[in-house]
Amino acid sequence: MKTYARLSGIVFGAVMILLSLAITAETLLRKLLSISFGGLDELGGYALAICAPLAFTVALIERSHIRINLLQARMSLRNQAILNAVAMVSLGILSAYLLYFTVLTLLDTQAYHSIAQTPWATPLVYPQSLWLVGMLVFAGAALVLSIQACVLLWRRDWPALNKRFAADSISDELQAELGDLAKREGARP
């Protein structure tokens, strides 16, 4: 799964860097030569729609999404594990719904031969197909992790469930930050 997250992150980063370079070039050309590409805002919207599910995937796999675990930390190991499984399965269900919505949107777009109401008049089936691929990546990861959570819940393997799906504790986050600080300090000449 780490490779899956890494690839999603690389694609996300590459698209965002290309978009930022295009915006920079557009801005400079407008200011210096009064030339505009036209439609760069359209491409930016497509890039964000396509890359958002990839960012969701990275956050999901790396467990870097925001979780409020104030009450959960006071619960028993078993109850914490059950809540972690419920959270993961809920996210899997949400990802399946988002994928379903994306497919319906793409099917409507194909049926009506929809085009963007912009100067480029882009047939929307193309960017929406890429959006669908991004949603497939996110839903695939979420559903695999949901199945893993269900298997661990079925086995009543509370420690494994918490290790795999719980948010990092405050002490874990502190240790990670101190480790990063030590690496930065060690890298200084």
For 37-83, the pLDDT digits (tens) are: 778 888 899 999 999 999 999 999 988 877 777 777 788 999 999 99
**Dist CA 147 CA 86 (whole Å):** 11
Compute, in degrees rounded to 10, the torsion defined by CA atoms 55, 57, 63, 65.
Answer: 50
123 SS3 class: strand
In a domain, 183, yes or no: no
pLDDT at 7 > cutoff 60? yes
The reported pTM is: 0.85
Please report whether residue 34 resides in a domain. yes
Question: What's the mean pLDDT when you consider all of the chain?
Answer: 90
**E-assigned strand segments in 71-161:** none
Domain extent at residue 39? 2-67+85-169
Are 1 and 61 within 8 A, CB to CB? yes
Q: Is residue 76 part of a domain?
A: no
3 state SS of 61: helix
Q: Which amino acid is at 21?
A: L
- Please check whether residue 125 is in contact with residue 106, taking contact to mean a CB–CB distance below 8 angstroms: yes
Are the C-beta atoms of 126 and 132 separated by less than 8 Å?
no
Note whether residue 52 is domain-resident.
yes
